[in-house]
């Protein structure tokens, strides 16, 4: 007897995290990909009417075969497939939303090379946590299918490019020299033409044939050195890059210093005149201290939670995450033109908005004008998720014991926040936040202090202490 879709998904070793379904590449078999695609389509048909689906991929070698399995299932269910090939996730989401069709993006974003994932979009935007639950319990029998590869349609990329060229002034980047760190980003073929069309001189940097899992929340020492060296060599006004699927920006100032994602989000929201914000609990407290926004709501980490909070905000609405991904929750006016909402993480909008906001002044001047609160983050990899959960649950019962274990016994805990993981604020204003990653077996640590070096050092002290407890 043919297994039900829910049973196939349950036995796949693939699970939903903070951003789509993720797992090892070896677990994304044709059958597993098709089961997820069928379940997603059936759940969408309960609410929406559509006769086609949009599919896109990142540059991981495994993504092509996964897309073929999803496309084959979509055709078996009677849908036409618009296959947009390699493109940024926000580009796929935007095109699908304009066409009012669902979409599947095959991407593992920033997670290691041996993993991949599936992101799902409703015709009106990202799926919700309720949608995720519904996808996992579809009891239909798996429909017979054959993987199929379609001809790449460039309309997805073209719509995304036009989205920004239509609203930003044609000379807004005139006189600027921008480095584009291309690596294996899904958007690497479109960023240079966009920046050049807006007047910038562009120098492409380090395109790779192998996939590079860049994590914008945990920039490697190697990439930190690259940013400084490139800036010294070329005299850039800024360096722009993204994670693997182009939904999280990585931006360096004129000194080659990579900006923290939540600072990028704060500056982007300021540039767009946003009134109400939804941001995860892990973001920099400079957001509130800046006094720019009429309302700021703190959420659990993950774009679905940020998007859900939009319903309770008014005026011009946006959100962003500590990783820099910017979500535009309402239409805004840019240079006198209407920019449509795009309530999913986007890397390109904050890049363009920051450079336009800076004008002739250096990017570093924008950050210096903000309240001087500094954040840092890093992660311990290959930490079993259940161990992290158990560790933090126990720690929440006795924070004093935790800070002693972490070598911080001289500190006084002022407040404890369990919105997502365990976030401790100390009497001296420093913050330590620990949580399991929602996408991989990793324990993440976020810190905040009045000095960047102190924040960075605190991350390493905490993670080294946790590493000792693991042993």
User: What does the pLDDT read at residue 324?
Assistant: 87
Query: Any idea where the domains of the chain sit in the sequence?
Result: 5-155, 166-368, 374-470
| Three-class SS of the chain | CCCEHHHHHHCCCCEECCCCEEEEHHHCCHHHHHHHHHHHHHHHHCCCCCCEEEEEECCCCCHHHHHHHHHHHHHHCCCEEEEEEECCHHHHHHHHHHHCCCEEEECCCCCCCCEEEEEEEECCEECCHHHHHHHCCCCCECCCCCCCCCCCCCHHHHHHHHHHHCCCCCCCCCCCEEEEEEECCCCHHHHHHHHHHCCCEEEEEEECCCCCCCCCCCCCHHHHHHHHHHHHHHCCCEEEEECCCCCCEEEECCCCCECCHHHHHHHHHHHCCCCEEEEECCCCCHHHHCCCCCEEEEECCCHHHHHHHHHHCCCCEEEECCCCCEEECCCEEECCEEECCEEEEECHHHHHHHHHHHCCCCHHHHHHCCCCCEEEEEEEECCCHHHHHHHHHHHHHCHHHHHHHCCCCCCCEEEEECCCCEEEEECCCCEEEEEECCCCCEEEEEEEECCHHHHHHHHHHHHHHHHHHHC
pTM of the model: 0.90
109 is catalytic: yes
User: What does the pLDDT read at residue 323?
Assistant: 85
User: What does the pLDDT read at residue 438?
Assistant: 75
User: What does the pLDDT read at residue 2?
Assistant: 72
User: What does the pLDDT read at residue 12?
Assistant: 95
User: What does the pLDDT read at residue 332?
Assistant: 96
Point out the catalytic residue in the list 109, 150, 282, 316.
109
Domain topology for 166-368: Alpha-D-Glucose-1,6-Bisphosphate; Chain A, domain 3 (3.40.120)
Q: For each of the chain's 471 residues, which pLDDT tens digit applies?
A: 578 999 999 999 999 987 789 999 999 999 999 999 999 999 999 999 999 999 999 999 999 999 999 999 999 999 999 999 999 999 999 999 999 999 999 999 888 889 999 999 999 999 999 999 999 999 999 999 999 988 999 999 999 999 999 999 999 999 999 999 999 999 999 999 999 999 999 999 999 988 888 888 778 899 999 999 999 999 999 999 999 999 999 999 999 999 999 999 999 999 999 999 999 999 999 999 999 999 999 999 888 999 999 999 999 999 999 888 999 999 999 989 999 999 999 999 999 999 998 888 999 999 999 999 998 888 999 999 999 999 999 999 999 999 999 999 999 999 999 999 999 999 999 999 999 987 778 999 999 999 999 999 999 999 999 999 987
Please tell me if the domain spanning 166-368 has the same topology as the one spanning 374-470: no
CATH of 5-155, one of 3.40.120.10, 3.40.50.300, 1.10.540.10, 3.40.50.410: 3.40.120.10
Domain topology for 374-470: TATA-Binding Protein (3.30.310)
User: What does the pLDDT read at residue 167?
Assistant: 96
């Amino acid at each position: 007897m043919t297994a039900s879709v829910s049973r196939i998904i349950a036995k796949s070793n693939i699970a939903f995290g903070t951003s789509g379904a993720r797992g090892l590449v070896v677990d994304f078999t044709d059958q597993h990909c098709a089961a997820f695609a069928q379940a997603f389509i059936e759940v969408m048909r309960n609410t929406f009417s559509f006769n086609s689906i949009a599919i896109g991929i990142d540059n991981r070698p495994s993504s092509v075969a996964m897309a073929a399995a999803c496309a084959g299932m979509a055709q078996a269910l009677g849908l036409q497939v618009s296959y947009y090939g390699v493109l940024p996730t926000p580009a796929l989401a935007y095109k699908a939303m304009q066409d009012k069709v669902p979409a599947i993006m095959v991407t593992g974003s920033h997670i290691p090379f041996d993993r991949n994932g599936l992101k799902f979009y409703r015709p009106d935007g990202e799926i919700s946590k309720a949608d995720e639950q519904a996808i996992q319990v579809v009891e239909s029998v798996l429909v017979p299918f054959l993987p199929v590869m379609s001809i790449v349609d460039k309309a997805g990329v073209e719509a995304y490019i036009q989205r920004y060229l239509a609203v930003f002034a044609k000379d807004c980047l005139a006189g600027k020299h921008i480095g584009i760190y291309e690596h294996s980003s899904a958007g690497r073929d479109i960023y240079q033409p966009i920046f050049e069309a807006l007047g910038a001189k562009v120098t492409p940097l380090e395109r790779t044939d192998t996939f590079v899992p860049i994590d914008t929340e945990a920039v490697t020492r190697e990439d930190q050195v690259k940013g400084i060296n490139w800036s010294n060599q070329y005299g850039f006004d800024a360096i722009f890059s993204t994670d693997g699927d182009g939904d999280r920006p990585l931006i360096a100032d004129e000194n080659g210093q990579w900006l923290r994602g939540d600072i990028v989000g704060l500056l982007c929201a300021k540039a767009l005149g946003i009134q109400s914000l939804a941001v995860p609990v892990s973001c920099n407290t400079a957001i509130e201290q800046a006094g720019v926004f009429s309302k700021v709501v703190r959420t659990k980490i993950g774009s679905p939670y940020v998007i859900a909070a939009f319903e309770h905000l008014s005026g011009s609405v946006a959100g962003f995450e500590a990783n820099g991904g910017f979500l535009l929750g309402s239409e805004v006016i840019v240079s006198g033109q209407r920019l449509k909402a795009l309530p999913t993480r986007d890397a390109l909008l904050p890049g363009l908005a920051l450079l336009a906001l800076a004008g002739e002044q250096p990017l570093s001047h924008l950050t210096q004008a903000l309240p001087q609160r500094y954040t840092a983050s890093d992660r311990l990899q290959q930490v079993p998720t259940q161990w992290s959960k158990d560790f933090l649950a126990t720690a929440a019962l006795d924070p004093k014991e935790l800070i002693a274990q972490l070598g911080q016994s001289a500190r006084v805990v002022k407040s404890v926040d369990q919105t997502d993981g365990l976030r401790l604020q100390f009497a001296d204003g420093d913050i330590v936040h620990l949580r399991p990653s929602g996408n991989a077996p990793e324990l993440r640590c976020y810190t905040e202090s009045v000095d960047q070096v102190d924040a960075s050092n605190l991350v390493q002290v905490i993670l080294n202490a946790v590493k000792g407890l693991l042993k």
